[in-house]
Amino acid sequence: MASEAAAETAAKPRGGRLCTICNTKRAALKRPKTLEQICKDCFYAVLEDEIHRVIVDNHIFKRGERVAIGASGGKDSTVLAYVMSELNRRHDYGLDLFLLSVDEGITGYRDDSLETVKRNEIQYGIPLKVVSYKDLYGWTMDEIVKLIGLKNNCTFCGVFRRQALDRGASLLKVDKIVTGHNADDIAETVLLNILRGDIARLSRCIYSPNAYRGFAREFIKDLERIRPRAILDIIKSGEDFRIATHTKMPEQGNCERCGYISSQKWCKACVLLDGLNRGLPKQGIGRTRGLDAERNKDSRETNGTQSLQSKQCGSLDF
């Protein structure tokens, strides 16, 4: 008995608490969601099982569907690609998976991350499709930044990236797109929309760049240090908001120029591209003042811009 007890003691890790699930390995983290202290292996297993249950309980996929995985090469999308590949194999979802990447044309940044995506293609055996700003819009982000500077370039990148994912999905003829976001991202978006008084936008789950995001991120991290569940509570609050029946929501239509989903005659991407192509790169940034009003300023603001190459927005071919 003494030897068995000694062997058991030797098998347990010294220092720290044991995992509350397996009770054999040392706990590596404390989950804010459940306050459980668990080891790395148990965390992987629990996370994958929770994702599987969400997929099954909400009937997110149907057998035979084509699904694109938004792949940036970052940790969130890399984890998403692994989990989707693993669960599709383990639980036999019967999905045709594709990696979909957007090349914004940022030298020294996107080049490296695309190499990670290419390794994921080989590692997980998922075919990769890369769509570029240059091919879709005629501009790279390097070219846009050179023209407009650093101050408002996130507006272009955010608008173009969301549309590029949809256009890539159209080329792949997929049924659904899945993207990876961590809880911090979602909580920041919820808080930003509340601060902007745009509660209606929460129901549409818009993920948009905003100058306040950095401040919101710091505020949320401060809250998390005080209360670990703060991030999840903010997300839950966003999910629980109810939109009043008299709230007027934007009517979704299609852009007259490219066919993309839009609540205006022209989608935001086409407004921005029109400004770029006509030498008015700040057109469409900030509050909308009307496209016709912007066009009427051509005679006053296009001095020296005639030499810029005109680059047309292509059709979505939906």
Higher pLDDT, 157 or 52: 52
Output 128 or 219, whichever has higher pLDDT: 128
Domain membership of residue 12 (yes or no) is no
74 is in an annotated binding site: no
Residue 249: per-residue pLDDT: 67
Same domain, 55 and 65: no
> Is residue 92 situated within a structural domain?
yes
For 134-167, give the DSSP string. Answer: HHHHS--HHHHHHHH-SSSHHHHHHHHHHHHHHH
Residues 97 and 135 in one domain: yes
3-state SS record for 295-316: HCCHHHHCCCCCCCCCCCCCCC
* 72 in a labelled binding site: yes
Give the whole-angstrom CA distance, residue 57 versus residue 13: 37
**What total of structural domains would you count in the chain?**
4
Q: Is 203 annotated as a binding residue?
A: no
Residue 34 lies in a domain: yes
Asked whether 65 and 105 are in contact (CB, 8 A), the reply is no
Instruction: Please give the model's pTM, rounded to 2 decimal places.
Output: 0.72
Does 185 carry a binding-site annotation? yes
Task: Convert the pLDDT of each residue in 169-216 to its tens digit.
Answer: 999 999 999 998 888 888 888 887 777 666 555 555 643 444 456 777
- Give the DSSP H or E segment for 84: helix 75-90
Same domain, 80 and 145: yes
Instruction: State which residues form the domain around 223.
Output: 181-245
Establish whether 64 is an annotated binding residue: no
Which of 178, 198, 221 terminates a domain? The answer is 178
- Model confidence over 11-21: pLDDT tens digits? 454 557 899 99
